[in-house]
Copies of this chain bind each other. A is one copy, B any other.
Amino acid sequence: MNYLKKLVWALICLFFSLSSFSQEHPSIMLSKQNIGALRKGVQTYALLKKSWKKIKSDADKAILEAIEVPVPKEAGGGKSHEQHKKNYSTMLSCGIAYQISGDQKYAAYVEQMLLKYAAEYEKWPLHPKRKEGHQGGRIFWQSLNDFVWQVYTIQSYDLVHDALSASNRKTIESKLFEPILKFFTVDCAGTFDKIHNHATWDVAAVGMTGYVINKPEYVQMALKGSAKDGKTGYLAQVDQLFSPDGYYTEGPYYQRYALLPFILFAKTINNYQPELKIFQYRDQLLAKAIQTSLQLTYTDGTFFPINDAIKGKTYESSELVYGVDIAYADINASPDLLDIAAKQGEVVVSDAGLKIAKDLSEGRSKPFSYQSQLIKDGASGKEGGLGIFRSGSNEDQQAVVLKAASQGMGHGHFDRLNLLYYDNGVEIFPDYGSARFINIESKKGGDYLPENKTWAKQTIAHNTLTVDQTSNFKANADLAQQTAASVSYFKIDKDLQIFSADENHAYPGVRMNRTTALLKVKELQKPLLIDVFRVNSDKAHQYDLPFWYKGHLVDASPKIKGFTDQLKPLGSKYGYEHIWLNAEQAVPGKSGYLSILNNKRFYTVHFAADAPLSLKLLSLGANDPDLSLLESKAFMLSSTDSKDQLFFSITETHGQTNPVNETTTGASSQVTDLQVTANHPDRASLSFKVKGKTYQYQINYNNKENFIKIN
């Protein structure tokens, strides 16, 4: 019996040891067996050296300051909020500094801080403040911040683990991390089991903690949801939050943000349970999501600012530093990622960062390979998508973005069939992004401004069609969320890139198609941007197609006559109330052009239509008493009383000015004679001339074998 008892116990231990995790630390971004190489690397490779110098400087500064773990009190931006944010960041720097330098003082700092948290955490009730509409945390006013705190903190703990006494480890685990796990999974169960980016931070925090402090139960829950049935949890989120192309429905700005917990947790999973092959999951979905994030930038590194985006955000943001490092080191060492890493100017001081910095120093980098591509939206890839055209080198690239996707949830804009154009390093036809001065206290505490709703989300704020001065779906987000635009054609050839999409739900009884191409003709150096926006309805409507542009208007036909002594708003709602009407005139012969000078290059937009048109010049700023709206201007093609209407435009990119030498070349446009010769249900026949040569341009909407015919 004694023997049997012993055997049973031995089997039980074996079972548990099998289902528990290797307890070697560190084991997330840095791994124990690689520390020697990393210590050498920070002395050797420029980018790693620079990144380490910054971490060390942060850590050295931190350890001189008194440890402060205040009772949670203030809302976002307040003192206790900022202190707790700072704490997780300095603990991580000190954790890395300990591993690289071997100096105990850094570990001691993390240890002392964690002990202080452990002594306090259980006393803290739910945070006294609450972010409107968001679940409360205990350290912060919303639970999301608590999750983020723990994703960072568990990494610091992993880094200093071996330097801590067993009794202190026990205190920290039992008084801090275990209560946190309980809070995140029980109190925050509603979030934990959502398919949503807040839930990603929650499961990542829980799962990473589960691995590090060896609680397989929590890892299971993190991976498969609290019921462990796979209906929620991390894997379900990977399945449902991204499209098969790795696109996150809220758009590039939020895609970047959502990415970090996905890849940090994936990296942890891969270290602890390589047999799960998490990076291979769903056809390498995470690698695609990182790649797609990069493909959603212009060559200056900025994300395409569709939906509620902060402009000026680039792939230099820390989420993509992690993303690029892990993608290169752990998934696919594509040399063009080194180009991005070099432009980011830093790496994570980690195994992955070492590999990047080493390979960069060995000259293995290639220019990042921007692709013309269709990025499908929706978990199954059936909710439209973004079409992207690229032409030219990374130093001087034309890029066109066409949005025919789903609404993208609460941060989505009413911008079906929106078009953005970039060239020569700058925006030509921009997207306004969100109306928000992030972190500027005086502008509504840095939060979204009222104008985000009244202006930035409205259809007229975008380079697409507004019908009857009303936004898509009458600006009803719930309604908009129910349907998506559909991409009917996408094809990339050497000299012709084509995107065609339909939107038939945004306005009841109105069918819209936008068919846009980038066409290289041999007479001109730069491809032409050819845009055909067609709308059909049984009833007559007002159709407004604005092109918000950057630069200065230097020529136009018909000649513009700006209003001289008074400006009035363009309308009274759906964003029209924010627009000053600067000029308005009829377009004789239904065609004309405007030439814009932007960043020393000319852009001449030729246009034509098959029904009478008027041309309006617009600028932003009406009904804006707080002066919150940014300078913006547009020209707009309008027709007031058409059932069917076709707007045909060709944007020619040409010439240059040099203010230093005072020279101008190629200022004259070479495109002329735009005509709409037929507009039938199944085809549009158009023509134009380039340096006198006639091009016939026919769109066969129902013929995918011969969708665009040019001769």
Contact = CB atoms under 8 A, between A and B. Distances in A.
Interface in A473-506: none
| Copies of the chain in the assembly | 2
B659 A552 contact: no
Contact of A662 (B310, B441, B554, B661): B310
Interface in A615-635: 617, 619, 621-627, 630-631
Interface stretch (A219-227, A234-242, A402-410, A564-572): A564-572
A268 to B, nearest CB: 24
A176 B498 CA distance: 59
A562 B440 contact: no
B566 A439 contact: no
Nearest to A312: B659
Contact of A659 (B311, B441, B566): B311
Given A446-B664, A582-B621, 18 more contacts: A312-B660, A313-B659, A313-B660, A313-B662, A438-B662, A438-B664, A439-B657, A439-B664, A440-B664, A441-B667, A442-B595, A561-B625, A562-B625, A564-B622, A565-B622, A566-B568, A567-B580, A582-B627
A398 B371 CA distance: 42
Query: In the complex, which range does the number of interface residues on chain A fall in?
Result: 35 or more
A555 B442 contact: yes
A583 interface: yes
A314 interface: yes
A366 interface: no
A567 B569 CA distance: 9
Given A564-B622, A564-B624, A597 B660 contact: no
A2 interface: no
Q: Which 3 A-B pairs have the closest CB atoms?
A: A442-B555, A439-B664, A312-B659
A661 B554 CA distance: 37
A11 to B, nearest CB: 52
Interface string A313-326: 11011100000000
A627 B317 contact: no
B439 A627 contact: no
Chain A interface secondary structure, helix, strand, loop or mixed?
loop
Contacts of A368: none
A443 interface: yes
A622 to B, nearest CB: 6
A176 B316 CA distance: 62
Contacts of A439: 657, 662-664, 667
Contact of A565 (B312, B318, B623, B630): B623
A163 interface: no
A697 interface: no
A424 to B, nearest CB: 15
B664 A562 contact: no
Contacts of A621: 562, 582, 619
Nearest to A578: B564
Contacts of A552: 437, 630
Nearest to A657: B439
Interface in A663-696: 663-664, 667-668
Contacts of A626: 560, 562
A313 B312 CA distance: 27
A553 interface: yes
24 contacts: A310-B662, A312-B660, A313-B660, A317-B661, A437-B552, A437-B597, A438-B659, A439-B657, A439-B667, A440-B554, A440-B657, A441-B668, A442-B595, A442-B667, A560-B626, A562-B624, A564-B569, A565-B568, A566-B568, A567-B567, A567-B580, A583-B627, A617-B627, A631-B631
